[in-house]
Amino acid sequence: MRVVLISDTHLPQRARDLPPALWAAVDEADVVIHAGDWVDVAALEALEGRAARVIGCYGNNDGAGLRARLPEVAYAELAGLRIAVVHETGPAAGRELRCAQRFPDVDLLVFGHSHIPWDTTAPGGLRLLNPGSPTDRRRQPFATYMTAAIVGGRLDEVTLHELPRRTGLG
């Protein structure tokens, strides 16, 4: 199962659209996971219109329209892998232990908010992934997203993709 992981798209505030390379990945994916801060319902609808399946949550910058359609925490099981998606996980210090305690029955936690890519494993095996942002790199050298494969109930081939810089964005 091919998965695309994104967060913090901030459309249309930080970009008019997602980068072409990300849309190409969405077109090839079996599932797209979005960890919040869509900003506009149109972003959700555009992704739902192209992706085979979307799993997402709302973020702190998402208004009533998105909160009416998305949960604060999304849960799914994909090919035997138990997943939770949440926007905020708090400070980086202590994140693994805190998230392992909050999500004891999950194999993978996808989160956003910081715009900083993150890939760690908590004691007990919970994998934590933050794909960064494909549109607002903040202090990062590149805007980013992730792809992965789920094979036999486990996460495989996790890749962080760096997007080319575009004038006036990120």
Q: Where are the domains of the chain?
A: 2-163
* Alpha-carbon distance values, 65 to 15, 39, 138 (Å): 20, 10, 26
Q: How far apart are CA 62 and CA 165, in angstroms?
A: 25
CATH superfamily of the 2-163 domain: Metallo-dependent phosphatases (3.60.21.10)
- In whole numbers, what is the pLDDT of the chain averaged over residues? 94
Sequence-ordered list of residues with C-beta below 8 angstroms from that of 119, at least 6 positions apart, any chain: 127, 128, 129, 130, 158, 160
Cα angle for residues 62, 84, 66 (degrees, 5° grid): 20
- pLDDT for 39-94, tens place per residue? 999 999 999 999 999 999 999 999 999 999 999 999 999 999 999 999 999 999 99
Instruction: Give the pLDDT score at 170.
Output: 42
pTM of the model: 0.95
Q: Are 48 and 70 in contact (CB under 8 A)?
A: no
